Every structure is written in C-alpha cells, then in structure tokens.
Amino acid sequence: MTGTANPVGGNLLAGFYAGGRLMAIDAYLIDGIVRVPNVTPVPRAPDYVRGVINLRGSIVVVIDLACRIGLAPEDRPASGTFAESDRRIIVVSREGESVGFLVDAAADVMEVAAGEIKDAPPNVLGTEASRFTGAYDGPLGLASILDVNALLAAD
C-alpha cells in the first residue's frame, strides 16, 4: 500500500461500502466524509460521474464508486440493504482538485499492520484489478483496498 504510515508504524484504512461490498482507502487521503447533498448533473460526463456539488465554496466532482470500479447495477445488492440516509461522499484531493466518491455507507477506520495487507489477486476483477492495491481481512470482513490514483486516472 502506498499510503502514509501512522506514527506507530501501521496504516490507517477508512472502510466503506460501495455496491454492497466492503472497501477501503488510505485514511490519510481523505479530506472529509459528507452526507449527500443535491448533486448537479454534468452533461456528457462519463456514466460514473454523477455530477458536481458545492462543498464549502469548492466545486467537487462526484464519482459513483460502484460504477467506476465496474459493478453493474444487477451485481449490486437489492435496494434496502443500505438506507438512502446512509449514503456518503468521501472527499479526497489529488493534484489540488477535490473529488468525491459516492458510497453506500461509511464503515470504520481500521489500524492495520503492513503485513496484514495481502496483494490483490491479479485475476479478481479482470481489467478493473488495476484499481485495487490489496485486501485486508479484518473485524468488518474482507475489505478490498482501492488505489485512489488509479480510480482517478483517465481511461
């Protein structure tokens, strides 16, 4: 994992659910987690871009994370698994630009020793596998660890 280590030598992962699946990113990359406000659609944007929001005076592009990693709607759990009020936007910054990932629900922050993170099997998601850096089997279950830079890279 390429994140910043915390002072005691482990990694902090922020867990969340997207497409009904437990996932995580390096917690040090997160600028904030907010409830989902009104999202303004952007004409002709890629299908995974839900639109933009105004967050404390900054325009933030909102990406549907489940869609971005290639989960088709039929591959997601039936509605009702997560309440609409559980949905969140996880805001990260990259190269001076804020981007928000729309997720089903925020989970927990997990402190993980580097040796507890396992490499992602190369055949797990085919072409989408490059967006994953590994997996962590912790108290919440098996979490797929996402590579934020790969998620934000142009296709």
Q: Residue-wise pLDDT tens for the chain (155 aa)?
A: 444 444 444 589 999 999 889 999 999 999 999 999 999 999 999 999 999 999 999 999 999 999 998 876 666 666 557 888 899 999 998 888 899 999 999 999 999 987 898 887 666 555 466 788 888 999 889 898 999 988 888 76
Structure tokens at 64: 């549907």
Give the count of alpha carbons within 13 A of 93, CB side only.
9
Task: Break the chain into its structural domains and give their ranges.
Answer: 11-152
DSSP string, 48-74: TEEEEEEETTEEEEEEEHHHHTT--GG
Residue 115 to residues 10, 118, 134, Cα–Cα distance (Å) = 9, 7, 11
Structure tokens at 124: 């797990």
Q: Classify domain 11-152 at the CATH class level.
A: mainly beta
Q: What is the torsion angle, in degrees rounded to the nearest 10, for the CA atoms of residue 110, residue 137, residue 155 and residue 93?
A: 0
Residue 133 contacts residue 2 (beta carbons within 8 Å):
yes
The model's pTM is 0.84
